[in-house]
Amino acid sequence: MNNITVIGSGTMGNGIAHVFAQFGYKVSLVDINKGALEKALATISKNMDRQVAKGMLSEEDKNTAFAKIKTFTSLEEGVRSADLVVEAATENLSVKLDLFRQLDELCKEEAILASNTSSISITKIGAVTARPEKVIGMHFMNPVPVMKLIEVIRGYATSDEVTSLIMDLSKKLDKVPVEVNDYPGFVANRILMPMINEAIYTLYEGVAGIEEIDTVMKLGMAHPMGPLQLADFIGLDVCLSILRVLYDGFGNPKYAPCPLLVNMVEAGFKGIKTGEGFYKYTPGVKEFIVSPQFK
Ligand code: NAI
């Protein structure tokens, strides 16, 4: 397995392309948006420079790795020689189903089709292809070059052979793969999102303020950041949509999103990406303050 195609060159796609290139794979990076591809190459170069500065890569390794990445706006050209496709396009069911139908037509018969989805069923994605045994989840964590985990998700029809190929490949990227089955939220988000939701309920019910909740979880549980800050980092809209997947998938009221979260997303306070969520962020400034909405 040598030719990897990464689809979508946003936050996750650029990191996934970076890691495959760093470990010697030929990478085709595909995006419908040319600007996103240009931005991704600039981000990859900057992040590789950071690895050089830290002594993790030599200048020569960086140049070799960077040269392995080719960009495409045409899906057909980008997947022609792919042994493995890792899809990291926008988290939207119809976008993913449409892409996998096309991938199934365009890719060679033996190619494995993986998705980096955070919450969409791998079984559902596999079922729109004629090769569900070769469809699998490869859930990388953000930021991809730094985070060690890959949640490897087996759809209902994913074969043992494909699962063990992807587990081995993940290790070659110096990651730690963990095999899980395909149920709503997989493992990571099934546990993380109810914790974030409970933190928001704790705030909503007036048990404690934002900084107090985050401090308890940071210092009490040794988490690197509190759940409310983490929610801002992930995006409150993303948290809400994953909670809805859990709520719909299990039909269990314990996953019902906190009304405060729903209100904040509807008001456009989505966290770092909009400049304000539980905290208020100033572009280019590391420090941030509690959102004045909560004063
Ligand atoms: P993003 O919005 O930063 O990037 C998505 C990219 O996909 C955009 O550049 C867009 O132009 C492109 N795209 C959309 N439709 C396309 C198509 N049909 N063909 C080619 N490119 C297309 O999104 P992000 O955050 O990188 O998320 C990508 C995937 O990774 C999603 O499934 C998300 O759930 C998952 N994920 C995100 C994490 C995060 O922290 N952002 C963490 C783990 C998984």
Question: Distance (Å, rounded) from C-alpha 5 to C-alpha 84?
Answer: 6
Per-residue pLDDT tens digits for 106-151? 999 999 999 999 999 999 999 999 999 999 999 999 999 999 999 9
Query: Is residue 97 lining ligand 1, measured as CB closer than 6 Å?
Result: no
Active site residues: 118, 139, 151, 189
CA of 33 to the centre of ligand 1 (A): 12
- DSSP annotation of 33: -
Percent of the chain scoring above 90 in pLDDT: 97
Q: Which residue CA neighbors atom 39 of ligand 1 most closely?
A: 142
Residues 132 and 158: beta-carbon distance below 8 Å: yes
Higher local confidence (pLDDT), 283 or 191: 191
CA of 17 to the centre of ligand 1 (A): 13
What is the DSSP pairing of strand 3-7 with strand 26-30? parallel
The answer to whether the Cα torsion of 34, 38, 39, 40 is positive or negative is positive
Structure confidence at residue 288 (pLDDT): 95
Q: Which residue CA neighbors atom 9 of ligand 1 most closely?
A: 10
Which pLDDT band holds residue 20 (cuts at 50, 70, 90)? very high
Query: Is residue 11 lining ligand 1, measured as CB closer than 6 Å?
Result: yes
Q: Which residue CA neighbors atom 30 of ligand 1 most closely?
A: 88
Numbers of helices and strands, H then E, in the chain? 12, 10
Lowest mean pLDDT segment, chosen from 66-75, 106-115, 149-158, 279-288: 279-288
pLDDT at 295 over 90: no
pLDDT at 102 over 90: yes
Query: Is residue 64 lining ligand 1, measured as CB closer than 6 Å?
Result: no
Structure confidence at residue 284 (pLDDT): 86
Which pLDDT band holds residue 10 (cuts at 50, 70, 90)? very high
Per residue in 220-241, is it b (16+ CB within 10 Å) or e — as a string? eeeeeebbbbbbbebbbbbbbb
CA of 216 to the centre of ligand 1 (A): 32
CA of 128 to the centre of ligand 1 (A): 20
Query: Is residue 290 lining ligand 1, measured as CB closer than 6 Å?
Result: no
pLDDT at 184 over 90: yes
Domains of the chain and CATH, by start:
3-181 (3.40.50.720), 188-294 (1.10.1040.10)
CA of 168 to the centre of ligand 1 (A): 24
The arithmetic mean of pLDDT across residues 12-39, rounded, is 98
Query: Is residue 272 lining ligand 1, measured as CB closer than 6 Å?
Result: no
Per-residue pLDDT tens digits for 215-234? 999 999 999 999 999 999 99
Query: Is residue 92 lining ligand 1, measured as CB closer than 6 Å?
Result: no
Percent of the chain scoring above 70 in pLDDT: 100
